């Protein structure tokens, strides 16, 4: 009877040991799984954050690019209008040089007009031409304009 008791006891101990080993193994697997999940979550978060910053940065660059394209277009339209105004004074063959200086949010333009006919005009004719050229409006109100005539 003692031998049977010992056999039963050994079997119980062995079963308990096996149960304990399974629990330990399950905890280890669970820990590995949770570490992998945490790592995957962090990597996903990094991709999400990185992707979001890329989208925001590219939208900012696109906005600047669109602003520059818009400014280029209104500058060329302004030059066309200046040419038309010069044509009214029979100076359509004038050369126009427009220089722009950019400072943060402000731009300054200097428009230099070259024409021999303008150099031969008297003061009142130049004044009339200058007044007509200054009435040509540039869309951007924050920009400063200065119109000059090239004198040789």
Domain parsing of the chain, residue ranges: 2-149
pLDDT at 140: 73
Residues 100, 136 contacting (CB under 8 angstroms): no
**pLDDT tens by residue, the chain, 152 residues:** 667 777 777 778 788 887 777 777 766 666 566 677 677 777 766 666 666 555 444 455 555 555 778 888 888 888 899 999 889 888 888 889 888 888 877 888 888 999 888 888 888 988 898 888 888 877 777 788 888 888 76
Q: CA Rg, the chain, in Å?
A: 41
Rounded to whole angstroms, the Cα distance separating 108 from 99 reads 8
Q: Which helix (H) or strand (E) holds 83?
A: helix 2-88
pLDDT at 33: 65
The residues, ordered by sequence, that sit 6+ positions from 101 with a Cβ below 8 Å of its Cβ are 107, 108, 109, 110
pLDDT at 56: 47
Which of 141, 73, 61, 134 shows the shortest CA–CA distance to 106? 141
pLDDT at 119: 84
């Amino acid at each position: 009877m003692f031998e049977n008791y010992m056999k039963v006891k050994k079997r119980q101990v062995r079963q308990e040991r096996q149960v304990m080993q399974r629990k330990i193994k399950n905890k280890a697997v669970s820990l590995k799984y949770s570490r992998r999940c945490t790592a995957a979550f962090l990597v996903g978060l990094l991709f999400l954050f990185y992707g979001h910053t890329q989208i925001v940065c590219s939208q900012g660059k696109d906005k600047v690019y669109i602003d520059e394209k818009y400014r280029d277009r209104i500058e060329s339209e302004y030059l066309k209008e200046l040419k038309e105004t010069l044509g009214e004074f029979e100076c359509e063959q004038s050369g126009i040089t427009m220089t722009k200086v950019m400072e943060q949010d402000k731009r300054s333009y200097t428009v230099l007009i070259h024409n021999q006919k303008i150099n031969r005009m008297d003061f009142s004719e130049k004044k009339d031409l200058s007044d007509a050229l200054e009435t040509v409006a540039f869309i951007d109100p924050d920009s400063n304009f200065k119109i000059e005539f090239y004198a040789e």
